[in-house]
Amino acid sequence: MSDYDHKKNVTGTLPVLPVRNVAETLKYFTETLEFSELFQQASEEGVALNAQVQLENCNLMFNLNPADSGKEGGGVYFWIRIENKNIDDYYQELVKKNVEVVEEIKDQFWGDRSFTIRDCNGYLLAFNKAL
């Protein structure tokens, strides 16, 4: 985290995921999935309430909300568009870290190469890159 100002830097759509534990989720996304931490907000008692992460141009925010964490969303999942990373190398890195793969990496008929994982809160994240 640097001088990132979430009030000025959020443009477009920012999905906010309810999670059981913001600190654990942030650690999973930064250490396991290799996202960058942009922002974190804690209560006066020091409990992490919100955090924002980024992978290339894709941003996600986490909100402490144990009651809604991991609820079935009617098949909703999140696409994370990869532009700079080698998607095959990234996939192999996540497999080595024992990330739960829901759909193995493959070329799609619409011209993307993609794979889907389940994160530490049960959300489905589909990583894709144009062929």
Task: Compute mean pLDDT per 10 residues along the chain, 131 residues long, and list them.
Answer: 51 80 96 96 93 94 83 69 95 98 95 94 91 93
* Helix locations, the chain, DSSP H: 6-9, 22-27, 87-96
pLDDT of residue 5: 54
- Rounded CA-CA distance 86/129 in Å is 9
- What is the pTM (predicted TM-score) of this model? 0.79
Instruction: Set out the domains of the chain in order of their start, with CATH numbers.
Output: 13-66+76-130 (3.10.180.10)
Q: Give the chain's length.
A: 131
